[in-house]
């Protein structure tokens, strides 16, 4: 089952496939490893398909509470022993619930990897889920809901997601207050039993690591993990359209979403290039037209985001109430103008930006772990730097402009937060 990809090493940037290693366990867990030369650190990203999409319809926020509770003791270590042990190894770590995955991230010195991986094996297979830790974990999730109310930009992105994407993809991972209030420890413990499964889980290690050692460790500590996968609830359509929340903010928050093609679609590289022209740097259209030429915003940008099934271009701007309409209108002009095509200079700037980011990301173990997991999730395999480079270099201006002309962006889903509603563009 173990297949190390082999490829001729090219001169210069040395992150070719011979640094990468993929190993599938019989239980469905995939190990991806990437050896980064000249570093002492190692980054781990562990993604388990147990995210908010699996929350029972009457218990939204379960994954969020679980991602805290699960760290409060595992195997033979209680909450404090677990934390002290990882701190003693100097592990920087995080955990959180996303839509599809619950993700554990950790950065450490490579020499500590062998001591750290078994701890995460305990966490996902043998969490203590103590009664005493449930109340605080649930309480913190409810406090998070209030904290979001105090941060309008964060509130906007949650509202936009649930307006644009169908449930469960669009559901807020933070959950709903009334559901959290009603959630019990027994209920969540039972949920956990059928939620965490190795099937579809991805464990990525990048940096100072030894393939044989990591493979043995993962086989030893995760090989006996068995649980049947559970599937998300059926989709409910997204509300779409426009939503305004009246709130006395200093800036009007403007968020918009437009359907796009998913990452695995061959056309997604064209979309990314177009989004690069729109918002890839300070010379890109949104920054240049809305901030530099009109002084309407401090923050204005757009990005491409994709899950396996669905993708969108998400746009953001924050501006004063008296300038919000003009900002939104200008934003729409720029989106619509893309269908008229981009210039060769614009595309070359977007292209070199994508290439540089790809190469520079290769220097950071944490970024590499993220990229490897991303590729595996979307493409079912890691992609090499050479492959990415030729993909980026292969985009022709004529193809891009033809695509943009044939596929104008729209319609938009719009969410605004501020003192007054805006006129929704046609």
Partner 1 sequence: MISFKHVTLPNGLDVIAEVNPQAQSTALGFMVKTGARDEVPEVAGVSHFLEHMMFKGTPRRSAADVNREFDAMGASNNAFTSNEVTCYWAHVLPEFLPRALDLLADMMRPALRTEDFNMEKKVILEEIALYLDRPTHVLFEAIMADYFAGHSLGQSVLGSRESITALAQPQMRKYFDSHYGPGNMVLAVAGNVDFDQLVGLMQAAAASWQHLDIRRDYTVPRPQPRRRHIVDAKLKRHYMALMCPGPSSQDKDRHASHVLADVIGDHEGSRLYWALVEPGLADEADFSFYPLDRTGSFFAYASCDPARRDQVEEVLLAEIKKVIKDGVTEAEITRSKNKIETAGVLHGELPLGRMRSICARWTYHHEYRPLEAELAELEAVSGADIKEVLRQYPCSPVTMTTLGPE
Query: Between residue 341 and residue 360, which ones bind partner 1 under the rule CB under 8 A?
Result: 348-349, 352-357, 359-360
Cα–Cα dist 320/418, whole Å: 9
Q: Counting contacts by CB under 8 A, is residue 130 touching partner 1?
A: no
Residues 219-248 that bind partner 1 (CB under 8 A): 247-248
We find the least distance from the C-beta atom of residue 44 to partner 1, in angstroms, to be: 13
Closer residue to partner 1, CB minimum distance, 30 or 319: 319
Residues 247-266 that bind partner 1 (CB under 8 A): 247-251
Q: Which of 56, 224, 281, 408 binds partner 1 (CB under 8 A)?
A: 281
Beta carbons of 82 and 140 less than 8 angstroms apart: no
User: Which tokens is 95 given?
Assistant: 């955990």
Write the interaction track for partner 1 spanning residues 304-343; mark x where CB under 8 A is met and - where it is not. Answer: --------------xxx-----------------------
Query: How many angstroms separate the Cα of 61 from the Cα of each of 171, 180, 236, 308, 325?
Result: 9, 6, 18, 22, 35
How many residues belong to the chain?
426
Q: Which residue in 3, 6, 9, 13 binds partner 1 (CB under 8 A)?
A: 13
Q: Cβ 143 to partner 1, closest distance in Å?
A: 4
Site for partner 1, residues 182 to 211, rule: CB under 8 A: none
Binding of partner 1 at residue 299 (CB under 8 A)?
yes
What is the rounded distance in angstroms from the CA atom of residue 70 to the CA atom of residue 338?
46
State the Rg of the chain over Cα: 23
419 in contact with partner 1 (CB under 8 A): no
Q: Which residue has the tokens 């909450």?
A: 79
Long-range Cβ contact pairs of 245-250 (< 8 A, separation 24 or more): 245/155, 245/159, 245/415, 245/416, 245/417, 246/418, 246/419, 246/420, 246/421, 247/152, 247/417, 247/418, 247/419, 248/419, 249/152, 249/417, 249/418, 249/419, 250/320
Identified binder of partner 1 from the candidate list 41, 45, 62, 260, rule CB under 8 A: 41
Stretch in the footprint of partner 1 (CB under 8 A) among 37-45, 197-205, 228-236, 305-313: 37-45
By the rule CB under 8 A, 37 interacts with partner 1: yes
Residue written as token pair 């009664």: 131
Please say which residue, 30 or 251, places its beta carbon nearer to partner 1: 251
């Amino acid at each position: 089952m173990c297949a190390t990809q082999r490829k001729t090493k090219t001169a210069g940037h040395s992150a070719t496939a011979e640094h990468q290693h993929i190993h599938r366990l019989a239980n469905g867990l995939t190990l991806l490893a990437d050896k980064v030369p000249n570093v002492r650190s190692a980054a781990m990203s562990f993604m388990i398909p147990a995210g908010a999409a699996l929350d029972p319809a009457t218990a939204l926020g379960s994954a969020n509470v679980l991602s805290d509770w699960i760290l409060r003791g595992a195997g033979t270590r209680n909450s404090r022993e677990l934390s002290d042990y990882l701190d003693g190894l100097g592990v920087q770590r995080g955990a959180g619930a996303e839509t599809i995955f619950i993700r554990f991230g950790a950065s450490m010195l490579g020499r500590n990897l062998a001591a750290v991986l078994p701890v995460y094996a305990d966490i996902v297979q043998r969490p203590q889920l103590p009664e005493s830790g449930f109340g605080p974990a649930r309480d913190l999730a409810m406090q998070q809901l209030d904290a979001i109310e105090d941060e309008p930009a964060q509130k906007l992105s949650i509202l936009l997601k649930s307006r644009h994407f169908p449930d469960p993809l669009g559901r807020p991972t933070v959950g709903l207050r009334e559901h959290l209030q009603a959630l019990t420890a027994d209920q969540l413990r039972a949920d956990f039993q059928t939620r965490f499964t190795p099937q579809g889980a991805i464990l990525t290690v990048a940096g100072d690591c030894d393939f044989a050692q990591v493979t043995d460790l993962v086989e030893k500590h995760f090989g006996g993990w068995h649980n049947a996968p559970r599937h998300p609830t059926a989709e409910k359509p997204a509300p779409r359209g426009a939503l305004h929340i009246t709130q006395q903010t200093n800036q009007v928050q403007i968020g918009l979403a437009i359907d796009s093609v998913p990452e695995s679609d061959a056309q997604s590289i064209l979309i990314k290039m177009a989004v690069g022209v729109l918002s890839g740097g300070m010379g890109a259209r949104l920054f240049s037209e809305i901030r530099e030429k009109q002084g309407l915003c401090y923050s204005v940008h757009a990005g491409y985001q994709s899950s396996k099934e669905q993708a969108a271009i998400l746009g953001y701007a924050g501006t004063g109430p008296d300038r919000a309409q003009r900002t939104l209108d200008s934003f729409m002009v720029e989106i619509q103008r893309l269908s008229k095509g981009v210039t060769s200079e614009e595309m070359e700037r977007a292209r070199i930006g994508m290439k540089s980011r790809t190469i520079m990301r290769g220097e950071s173990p944490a970024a590499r772990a993220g990229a490897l997991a991303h590729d595996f999730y979307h493409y079912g395999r890691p992609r090499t730097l050479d492959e990415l480079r030729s993909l980026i270099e292969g985009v022709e201006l004529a193809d891009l402009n033809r695509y943009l002309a044939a596929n104008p962006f729209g319609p938009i889903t719009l969410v605004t937060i501020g003192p007054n509603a805006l006129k929704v563009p046609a």
